[in-house]
Amino acid sequence: MSIKAVNGDNANFKQRGGKHYVMLYTRYERFWHWSQALLIFTLFFTGLGLHGTHDMLDFKTAVEIHTYAALALIVLWVFTTFWNFTTGQWRQYLFKEGVLKVIRFYAYGILVGEPHPYKKGLQRKQNALQSLAYMGFMIFIGPALWASGIIYLTYDLWSDYSWAGDGLVAIAFLHTAAAFVMGAFVIIHIYMTTTGKTPTHYIKTMVTGYDNIELTEAEEAYIRETNPDVIKE
């Protein structure tokens, strides 16, 4: 996140010892996160209903809710992609060094009380493993769901072709497989939120937007010179 972007969101900072209490996640990032979560849970719930896993919704209602939620999620992702590129936030998802150290930490270090090898900062909100996972989510899982879902919805446009029957089976399989991969991603994501300083630390951060992080001297000097009110002593 650029300092300019933080100031543009009227971020607030509160000094705590050698660190600063920073609004790390903007209002839009929090809106994106929670609305996306709601839509994904809605899609997964209705999708399970369509497959007959539960009968809490009739088929027609499940189809309608699933379709509208999918379209809303596509619109959200398209707008968010635009927002990421116009604000420079896309850089947060680039591959970072140290992914093996982070994997080792979650596989072993966290069990024996080792410190996390990654320190969150204003310009580095995600660790190497998070960046890799989110990039895979946005490049592979999401587009697979969008494309297969849209093709499925437009079946009437290509149903007259000789290969339509086999094509529909393949598309349905791809869509379901991508949905379960997304479900696994969400479950792991929820688990990872419990590995912070407290079990609710990351959830609280994503609700309020604030986290206690270190600012570099250059970052603090720039903020104090251009907008000193954003740092509360």
pLDDT tens figures, 149-158: 999 999 999 9
- Strand 210-213 versus strand 19-23 pairing type: antiparallel
Alpha helices, H only, the chain: 3-8, 27-50, 59-87, 99-107, 128-136, 142-153, 155-158, 164-192, 201-208, 217-226
**pTM (two decimals):** 0.81
Flag whether pLDDT at 3 surpasses 50. Answer: no
Is the residue at 29 inside a domain?
no
Indicate whether 126 and 141 sit together in one domain: yes
Indicate whether 213 and 109 sit together in one domain: no
Indicate whether 228 and 132 sit together in one domain: no
Question: Residue 155: CB partners within 8 Å, gap ≥ 6?
Answer: 164, 168
Indicate whether 176 and 87 sit together in one domain: yes
Indicate whether 41 and 119 sit together in one domain: yes
Indicate whether 43 and 148 sit together in one domain: yes
Q: What is the mean pLDDT of residues 124-153?
A: 88
Is the residue at 59 inside a domain?
yes
Is the residue at 30 inside a domain?
no
Indicate whether 107 and 220 sit together in one domain: no
Chain segment 175-200, per-residue pLDDT in tens: 999 999 999 999 998 988 888 888 88
CATH assignment at residue 47: 1.20.950.20
- Domain of 58 in residue numbering reads as 35-208
Dihedral of CA atoms 21, 27, 30, 33 in degrees, nearest 10, equals: -150
| Length of the chain, in residues | 233
Is the residue at 196 inside a domain?
yes
Of 41 and 198, the structure prediction assigns the larger pLDDT to 41
Give the Cα-Cα-Cα angle 147, 149, 151 (nearest 5 degrees). 70
Is the residue at 116 inside a domain?
yes
User: Which has the closest alpha carbon to 71: 59, 60, 79?
Assistant: 79
Indicate whether 10 and 70 sit together in one domain: no
Indicate whether 58 and 128 sit together in one domain: yes
Indicate whether 125 and 189 sit together in one domain: yes
According to the model, what pLDDT value does residue 216 have? 75
Of 69 and 89, the structure prediction assigns the larger pLDDT to 69
According to the model, what pLDDT value does residue 182 have? 92
Indicate whether 4 and 116 sit together in one domain: no
Report the number of distinct structural domains present in the chain.
2
**Are 69 and 47 a contacting pair, CB within 8 Å?**
no
Is the residue at 187 inside a domain?
yes
**Are 145 and 182 a contacting pair, CB within 8 Å?**
yes
Question: Residue 60: CB partners within 8 Å, gap ≥ 6?
Answer: none
Q: What is the mean pLDDT of residues 137-146?
A: 89
Indicate whether 157 and 222 sit together in one domain: no
According to the model, what pLDDT value does residue 184 have? 92
Is the residue at 201 inside a domain?
yes
